[in-house]
Structure 1
Amino acid sequence: MGTSRHVERRTVLKAAGAAAATLGLAATTGCGGDGGSGDGTVTLRYAWWGGEPRAIAIKKTIALFEKKHPKIRIKPEFTDYEAFWEKFQTQASGGNPPDVFQNAVGFLRKYDKRGVLMDLKGQADAGNLSLENFRNGVLANGQVDGKQIGIPVGANTMALVIDLKAFQKAGVTPEFGWTWDEYFTALQTIQDKLRIAGDTGYFSIMYLYDLYLRQNGKAFFTDSGLGFTEDDLTQWWEDGHKRVKSGLVADPKKVEQVKPKSALSAGLAASEFTWDNFSIRYEGEGESDYGLAPIPTGDGKDTGQYLGSLMLSAFSGTKHPEEAARFIDFMVHDPEVGTIMGYDRGILATTEQYDAFTPTDDNNKGVKAYEEEVAAAGALGKITPHPSGADVVEAAFLRIGGEVAQGKSKPADAAKALFSEAKAAFAG
C-alpha cells in the first residue's frame, strides 16, 4: 500500500441513502414468557437496537424463519442503542435477558464475566450451529478466553467520509498510505480555499484513537485495561484542541447545534471519521456528494484497521438453547436472510449471505468496494481486545473529548479524568 497511488474511483465512491441504521427510534414490543406451549411450540425473545429500516428488515427475516421452523416462534424487542443497553442491563441483573440478542465487542467480556452469555461452541459441536464460512477471520471477534460467545452477522471498518465536492474544489485527492501530516495539510488547504473546517472532531472518537495507537505499536485496550498512558492521551487531545482553536476542526458548539444531523452533512466541515457502513446517513442528510477515503497512517503503510462486527449472542440461562442456536445459525447463514438484510449491519459475515446479496445502490456498492480495497491492500489486522467495562470507557471518551473540544477541560486534566473513570469501570 504505497503513497504514490491515488484512490481509484471504486474506492472513493458516492454514498447514497436515506438515514443511518443507527438513527431513529422504534417502540419496544413483547415481554417474553416461559417460552413453551402445550403443542410443543417454543417461543424465543429476540432483541436488537437500531432504527426503523433495520426493524422492518429483521421482522421479514423472522417471518421467514418461522415459516421454515413452524415449532419456533420469535417475539421481537427493539429500540435505539442507548435504551437497548439500559434495558438489557436491568434484564441481565434480574436474570431475564432475551434468549437471543444483538451484541458488540465492547460488551462481550462484561456480560461473560457476569455469566450471561452462552458458549455456543457446545451447540456447534451438537450440530445446531455452524461456525464455518465466516469471511476474513471475523468469527474471532466473538471469541473470549476460548469461548464463542458472539456470532458475527456483519463486518465493518473505520473510514474517512469526505465531502467530494469540497475536496475536488480544494484540489485535494486522498491517497492510500497518506500520512497524518498529509491529511492535516489537506484539511488546511480546504480551510484556506473554502473557508470551512476540514474535520468535524476526530479526537473524541475512541475507535479512531485506537487505530492511531495501533499504528504506533500500542492499542486502546488490553485484555484487562488501557493500552496507553495519560501522556499519550494528553498529547492526542492537545493536538485536537489546537486544531479546534485554529478552525481546522469544526466549532464544537455549532456541531452540537445541528445534532442529530452530522456536522459533515450540515456543511460545517469537509470530512468525518466513522464506520464505513454508517456512510448512508450523509447523503440523506446533506446537500453534497459523499465518498469513502482511506485512513491516514503514521508510516505510509499501517492503518491499524480491523473488521469490527455486530453479533448475535444467546442467554446462558435460556430454557431452549438448541432452538436459540438454530435461530442464530439461520440468521447468519441463510442466503435469503442475507438478501433481506443487505449491509444494514455491515458487510455480510458469511460467504453464503455475502454471495447471495448483490448491492445495487451507490452507497452499498461503495461500502463493499472500500472494504474489498482495504482487505486487498493487506491493511486489516485483528480486533483489539475489549475488557469488561469497555462500553463505559467508550462513552466517557466521547464525553470528555467533547469537553476538551469546547475548552471546558484542559487536555491533561481530561486525560487524568478518563483514566480515573476507566479504572472504576474495569473494577465494576
Structure 2
Amino acid sequence: MTIGMRAIGCLAAAALLATTGCSGDSDDAEAQDQKVEINVFWWGGEKRADLTEQALALYTARHPNVTFKTHWQGNQGYYDNLATQAAGPDGPDLFQIDDNYLTEYAERNVTLDLTPYTTSGALDLGKLPDSLAKYGQVGGRQVGVAGAENTPAMVYNRTLVRQLNLREPTVGMTYEQLFDWATEITQATDGRVAGTMDPSADYKALWLWLRAQGKELYAGSQMGFTAADLTTWFQMWQTARDSGAAPAPAVIKEANGGDVTKQLVATGRAATSFMWSNQLPELQGTTKDELALVSYPGDPKGQWARASMYWSAFRGTRHPEVVVDVMNFLVNDPEAGKILGTERGLSPNTDVRKVVGESLTDPTARATIDFENAITPRFGAAPAPPPKGHAKIRSLLTTAAESVQLGKKSPKQAAEAFLSEANGTLAT
C-alpha cells in the first residue's frame, strides 16, 4: 500500500488546509435553505451499492436540499483511491473504513472528531452496545461509527453432525473439548471430513484465545503477548493436526486466505470453519447441508461487539453537521435499517436490529441475527482498535502459522520470528 500511504500524508495536509480555509465559511447553518451535495465513498459489490443508494435516496426524500454524489468499488485498491480522492478538492465527505486503517487515519488527523456530536446528541450512540460504540474511538476521540456489527463465529455442518449422531458444539466449550469432538467426526467419516479447520493463521481466533486469558493482541504500539504465548497457540494446533482433529496442511492452506468459497465447511473438507457471523448466508449458499453458528471456543467474554466497518467523516468537509446527520440516519433510522438489511452485517442499533430481524424472510439471515443477539450480552469490553500496521501483522501471522503447518519451522521458531518482525513493523 505504498501509494496509499503516501497519499494519506497528502490527505492529512489537505484536511488541515481545508479546516483552516473553511472555518466560518461552512454553510451548514443554512443547510435547511441551501442545496448541499455530500460525497460518499465505500467499497463493496453491486448489492451493497444498490442498498446504500436506496437508503441515501430516502434521506434526500426527507431532506430535499441534500443530495449525494456516490462512488464505490471493490476492496482491492480502495484505500489507495480513498487517500487520493480525499487529498483533492472533491474529497469524500463521508467514507467507509475498517479497523485495518481507522487508527492510522485518525492519528494523521484525516477523520473528523465526532466527539462533540456524540456529546450533543446530534450523533446518538445510545442504542449501540457500549463496546461497539467505544470500538470507534482512537485516543479518546470518536472517529468512526459502526456501519454494522459483526462477531467471529464458528460455522459448523449441522446436517453432518446430526447424521453422525454426535452432539452439536456449544457456547463456552474449551479447545480441548473441540478437539475431542472433532476427532470423533474425523474417525466417524474415516478421514473423509476432518472435524475442524485449523485457524492458527487467523488473527481473530488468536485474539479471542488471548483475551480469554486476560491478554490482548496489541498493547499500544507493540504486540500484547509473548513468544511463549504464541508458541503454545501453534503447538496446540499442531497437536490437533497430529491427532486427526484438524486436516492436513495442504487442505488448511486452501482456506487460510479467507475466500468464502474455499472455506472447508463449504467444500466439505471439514465440519467447521472460523469465520464472521454475517458470512453464514454466503457460506450456506455453497452447500445443501444445513450450517449453523456457535461462538469460537473459550469464554465468550473474550469476544466483543465489533464493527464490521465504520462510517467516518473527512476532517475537511464543508458540511460537518449534515454529514453527521446522515451518519446518524444510517445508524439509527429503522426504515434505513430495513433497506440496508444485513449486507454489511447486523445493524449496530439494537432496536433497529430487531425491526430488521422481523422483516427478514431468509432463515439463514435470521439465524445470524438470533446468534448475535444471544451472544452479545456475554461479550467483554472492547479493546482499542488495532494500531497502524495491523494489515501487515495479519499477513505475518499467516506466514508464521503456515511455516509451522508445513513443517518448515517449529512452533517456537515461528513464534519468535513473528514477534520480532511484528514489533518491528509496529515501531516504524
**TM-score calculated relative to the size of structure 2:** 0.82
The reply on whether 1:319 has 2:313 as its aligned counterpart is no
Secondary structure of the corresponding residue to residue 206 of structure 2: helix
Q: Does structure 2 retain, via aligned residues, the 8 Å contact 1:174–1:294?
A: no
Q: Does structure 1 retain, via aligned residues, the 8 Å contact 2:136–2:144?
A: yes
The reply on whether 1:152 has 2:152 as its aligned counterpart is no
Question: Partners in 2 of 1:49 and 1:408 — Cα distance?
Answer: 37
Secondary structure of the corresponding residue to residue 324 of structure 1: helix
Q: Does structure 2 retain, via aligned residues, the 8 Å contact 1:99–1:315?
A: yes
- Number of residue-to-residue matches in the alignment: 388
Question: Partners in 1 of 2:401 and 2:90 — Cα distance?
Answer: 35
Alignment of 1:223-262 (within 5 A): 223-255=220-252, 260-262=261-263
**Which residue matches 2:188?**
193
Query: How many angstroms does 1:339 deviate by?
Result: 0.5
Question: Partners in 1 of 2:301 and 2:157 — Cα distance?
Answer: 21
Alignment of 1:366-381 (within 5 A): 366-376=367-377, 379-381=378-380
Please, which of 82, 99, 102 is the counterpart of residue 108 of structure 1? Answer: 102
Query: How many angstroms does 1:124 deviate by?
Result: 4.1
Question: Partners in 2 of 1:77 and 1:282 — Cα distance?
Answer: 28
The reply on whether 1:206 has 2:200 as its aligned counterpart is no
Secondary structure of the corresponding residue to residue 96 of structure 2: strand
Secondary structure of the corresponding residue to residue 203 of structure 1: coil
Query: How many angstroms does 1:252 deviate by?
Result: 4.1
The reply on whether 1:335 has 2:330 as its aligned counterpart is no
Secondary structure of the corresponding residue to residue 291 of structure 1: strand
**Which residue matches 1:424?**
424
Task: Assess, with a 3 A threshold, how the Cα gap between structure 1 residues 400 and 174 changes in structure 2: closer, same or farther.
Answer: same
**Which residue matches 2:30?**
none
Question: Partners in 2 of 1:80 and 1:200 — Cα distance?
Answer: 28
Q: Does structure 2 retain, via aligned residues, the 8 Å contact 1:255–1:268?
A: no
Please, which of 159, 175, 179 is the counterpart of residue 180 of structure 1? Answer: 175
Secondary structure of the corresponding residue to residue 268 of structure 1: coil
Code of the residue aligned with 1:398 in structure 2: it is T
Question: Partners in 2 of 1:380 and 1:126 — Cα distance?
Answer: 28
Deviation readout 1:381-417 (Å, 9 max, x if unpaired): 1122222222321233234323432334443333233
Question: Partners in 2 of 1:82 and 1:125 — Cα distance?
Answer: 36
**Which residue matches 2:392?**
392
**Which residue matches 2:19?**
none
**Which residue matches 2:303?**
305
Query: How many angstroms does 1:50 deviate by?
Result: 2.4
Q: Does structure 1 retain, via aligned residues, the 8 Å contact 2:205–2:296?
A: no
The reply on whether 1:220 has 2:214 as its aligned counterpart is no
Deviation readout 1:308-349 (Å, 9 max, x if unpaired): 112211111222212211211111111111001122222211
Q: Does structure 2 retain, via aligned residues, the 8 Å contact 1:265–1:288?
A: no
Please, which of 27, 50, 54 is the counterpart of residue 60 of structure 1? Answer: 54
Task: Assess, with a 3 A threshold, how the Cα gap between structure 1 residues 137 and 215 changes in structure 2: closer, same or farther.
Answer: closer
Alignment of 1:56-95 (within 5 A): 56-91=50-85
**Which residue matches 2:366?**
365
Query: 131-140 or 287-296, which moves further after superposition?
Result: 131-140
Query: 143-152 or 418-427, which moves further after superposition?
Result: 418-427
Higher helix share: 2
Query: How many angstroms does 1:423 deviate by?
Result: 2.3
Question: Partners in 2 of 1:213 and 1:267 — Cα distance?
Answer: 29
Question: Partners in 1 of 2:182 and 2:77 — Cα distance?
Answer: 36
Identity of aligned residues (%): 29
Question: Partners in 1 of 2:146 and 2:216 — Cα distance?
Answer: 22
Alignment of 1:26-45 (within 5 A): 40-45=34-39
Query: How many angstroms does 1:177 deviate by?
Result: 2.6
**TM-score calculated relative to the size of structure 1:** 0.82
Task: Assess, with a 3 A threshold, how the Cα gap between structure 1 residues 371 and 182 changes in structure 2: closer, same or farther.
Answer: same
Task: Assess, with a 3 A threshold, how the Cα gap between structure 1 residues 78 and 256 changes in structure 2: closer, same or farther.
Answer: farther
Secondary structure of the corresponding residue to residue 81 of structure 1: coil
Code of the residue aligned with 1:411 in structure 2: it is P
Deviation readout 1:243-262 (Å, 9 max, x if unpaired): 33554323343455585432
Question: Partners in 2 of 1:425 and 1:93 — Cα distance?
Answer: 26
Unmatched tracts of structure 2, length 5 or more:
1-21, 28-32
Question: Partners in 2 of 1:82 and 1:222 — Cα distance?
Answer: 29
Unmatched tracts of structure 1, length 5 or more:
1-33
Deviation readout 1:143-200 (Å, 9 max, x if unpaired): 1222111112221222110011222233132233321111100000000001221222
**Which residue matches 1:168?**
162
Q: Does structure 2 retain, via aligned residues, the 8 Å contact 1:334–1:352?
A: no
Task: Assess, with a 3 A threshold, how the Cα gap between structure 1 residues 97 and 245 changes in structure 2: closer, same or farther.
Answer: farther
Q: Does structure 1 retain, via aligned residues, the 8 Å contact 2:133–2:146?
A: yes
Q: Does structure 1 retain, via aligned residues, the 8 Å contact 2:301–2:380?
A: no
Question: Partners in 2 of 1:401 and 1:94 — Cα distance?
Answer: 41
Question: Partners in 1 of 2:78 and 2:131 — Cα distance?
Answer: 28
